[in-house]
Structure 1
Amino acid sequence: MAKHSIIPKAITEYDLRLLRIFRTVVENGGFSASEAELGVTRSTISVHMSNLESRMKLKLCSRGRGGFALTEDGQAVYHACIELFDSLNDFSLLVNGLGKELSGELILLCADQLDSTMQQKLAQVIQYLHIKEPQLHLILDGEAIHNIERALLQDKAHVGLLPSYQQIEGLSYQTIFSEPIYLCCSSNHPYFKLNDEEITPEMLAQSPSIHPGIDIDSEGREQLKKLNLSAKAYKFDTRKTLILSGCYIGYLPQSYIQAELESEQMRIIHSDSASYQFNLSMVFKKSPRETSKVELLKAAFEEVFHLKPTGNSR
């Protein structure tokens, strides 16, 4: 005889609460590890889990000396939970997007730490956003490039600031800033006190250097082919740290190392030949779920960076 869950077809708020607790327990790997996030004791969590199992008439997990583990049914319910709460979130975003007044979060992610110039520019963007839609909860954070691309495609972020190095299907790119990027070394490096004429291509090909960690454009790739790539750093700040060690040479924008150049902690090598163009792009999903929020961000960047509009802006 088939067994039936006693959870009613119309899922109650209590059911959702138990399922949220269940998801938290699974994602934290057990009851004890979930106490801090849930704000309740292990014994209380155990009661909630027992109630959920009773309501569903399913054994969802085993807990004991062997540790926490999901049953086969528990795995199925966990994956169903993910789909359920994603659907609820999608519904919430849809409803919020229908209103004339925007609400909720506005998420902007950056792939690199911001130099002083970019900080000032983004401060103006934020000021624009605050004047236009002060009720929005703004999130400005840094992330790895691939994480930003994934977040944009999954509608978990609205706009990303990325180096222009590839075009991902489903995303749109607009260059907001461009500057040369130069090969440089620190005052601790043997090349620091040499004239450019003394630093030969053969010497550069032998000296340990830094790969930027991403598949940069063709101009940059040609420059990297000339070097002995023996370290990797995805972000400007970590790359600068490697260069300041005196163990490596590497490429950085002049604006990012201007203070070190002026204090003679770093120098540029062969500025006329060992350089390529760095482009920073505003990136957004071509068909975002929250179109109004993306349009608001685009309008802010177009205003501050004097860009040509890419489409209808709020």
Structure 2
Amino acid sequence: MKKHSIIPKAITEYDLRLLRIFRTVVENGGFAASETELGVTRSTISVHMSNLESRMKLKLCSRGRGGFALTEDGQAVYHACIELFDSLNDFSMLVSSLGEELSGELTLLCADQLDNTMQKKLAEVIRYLHQKEPQLHLILDGDSIHNIERALLQDKAHLGLLPSYHQIEGLNYHTIYSEPIYLCCSEHHPYFELEDGEITPEMLAQSPSIHPGIDIDSDGREQLKKLNLSAKAYQFDTRKTLILSGCYIGYLPESYIQNELTTKQMRIIHSDSARYQFNLSMVFKKNPRETHKVELLKTAFHKVFG
């Protein structure tokens, strides 16, 4: 008959210490590779692992000339370790969020590169956050829409700035900024020197153009149907690079190419008809784990963006 582990009966601080060592050994691929991170010798690690196996009454790994390898039970215990320490971390974050003073990280993710106007607005948001809660460790980064949505749902980010073309269950979307997006070409494109009246729908339908790489609203989809979509660029900066090459036409916000328009490196084509609206939303989880931090961010954006 298989003996039962004693750990499920009562997990002690010593058990947690041994499990942390076990996780480190697994993630480093063996005893020798874990010495530096743990700050102890290989023989000490071996003693700790033997103690853990003895307490659990399980064979967790094999170590010898064949190298380090987890047993089937060892793999199960390792995955349980990950869940256990994630839960402990979640508990710690929850408790810290309940105090009067916020602490830890405040994570804000953006789906697109920021133009000058948006950079200044976001700088005002950050200034407000720093004045209110200077002890918070602010993380400002960029990622794809899909990754930002996933991070929000998993409570790995507090707020995202996303185009609000589609909405998914579990997240709230509040539009904070809206502007038109225009069809553009660069000074190296054949259309640059032509008048709008000379650029016919048939010509646009034959010219290589850029798909934004994501689903957009119905007006935008109708505009894209008129073009010969032969390249794809998800973010504004990569899309602008393709357009500046002179090989493609594509849609960009006027604010994002203001310098290129002023210096006559780019132009807008059919500004009255070849356009659609771009809406930027602040997005957050409907029931976030760290409610106070999300409310702080929402207040900051409402004050800056109105």
Whether TM-score is above 0.5 comes out as: yes
Report which stretch shifted further, 33-42 or 179-188.
33-42
Counterpart code for 1:217: D
Q: Which residue of 2 aligns with 1:282?
A: 282
- Matched residue count: 305
Contact 2:31 2:46 in 1 (8 A): no
Residues 23 and 145 of structure 1: is their aligned pair in 2 closer, same or farther, counting only changes over 3 Å?
A: farther
In the TM superposition, what whole-angstrom CA distance separates every residue of 1:148-183 from its partner, at most 9, and x where no partner exists?
111111111111000111111111111111111111
Q: Which residue of 2 aligns with 1:162?
A: 162
Structure 1 unaligned regions, length at least 5: 307-314
Q: Which residue of 1 aligns with 2:46?
A: 47
Q: Classify the secondary structure of the residue corresponding to 1:267.
A: strand
In the TM superposition, what whole-angstrom CA distance separates every residue of 1:44-81 from its partner, at most 9, and x where no partner exists?
79638844445434343456787765432233112212
In the TM superposition, what whole-angstrom CA distance separates every residue of 1:270-314 from its partner, at most 9, and x where no partner exists?
1111110001001011111111111111000011111xxxxxxxx
- The structural deviation recorded for 1:9 is 4.2
Q: Classify the secondary structure of the residue corresponding to 1:279.
A: strand
Residues 14 and 196 of structure 1: is their aligned pair in 2 closer, same or farther, counting only changes over 3 Å?
A: farther
Counterpart code for 2:237: D
Q: Which residue of 2 aligns with 1:80?
A: 80
Residues 34 and 156 of structure 1: is their aligned pair in 2 closer, same or farther, counting only changes over 3 Å?
A: farther
Q: Classify the secondary structure of the residue corresponding to 2:135.
A: coil
Counterpart code for 2:248: Y
Q: Which residue of 2 aligns with 1:294?
A: 294
Q: Which residue of 2 aligns with 1:309?
A: none
Q: Classify the secondary structure of the residue corresponding to 2:182.
A: strand
Residues 209 and 98 of structure 1: is their aligned pair in 2 closer, same or farther, counting only changes over 3 Å?
A: same
- What RMSD in Å do the two structures reach over aligned CA positions? 2.8
Please give the alpha-carbon distance, in whole angstroms, between the structure 1 residues aligned to 2:185 and 2:40.
Answer: 55
Contact 1:31 1:45 in 2 (8 A): no
- The structural deviation recorded for 1:83 is 1.6
Residues 50 and 229 of structure 1: is their aligned pair in 2 closer, same or farther, counting only changes over 3 Å?
A: same
Using the size of structure 1 for normalisation, the TM-score is: 0.86
Counterpart code for 1:210: I
Counterpart code for 1:88: L
Q: Are residues 1:269 and 2:269 paired?
A: yes
Structure 2 unaligned regions, length at least 5: none
Counterpart code for 1:144: S
Contact 1:179 1:278 in 2 (8 A): yes
Matches within 5 A, 1:148-187: 148-187=148-187
Please give the alpha-carbon distance, in whole angstroms, between the structure 2 residues aligned to 1:302 and 1:24.
Answer: 44
Q: Which residue of 2 aligns with 1:2?
A: 2
Q: Percent identity?
A: 81
Counterpart code for 2:190: P
Counterpart code for 2:240: K
- The structural deviation recorded for 1:3 is 2.5
Using the size of structure 2 for normalisation, the TM-score is: 0.89
- The structural deviation recorded for 1:33 is 11
Q: Which residue of 2 aligns with 1:128?
A: 128
Contact 1:112 1:142 in 2 (8 A): yes
Q: Classify the secondary structure of the residue corresponding to 2:121.
A: helix
Contact 1:18 1:48 in 2 (8 A): no
In the TM superposition, what whole-angstrom CA distance separates every residue of 1:79-100 from its partner, at most 9, and x where no partner exists?
2122212211221122112211
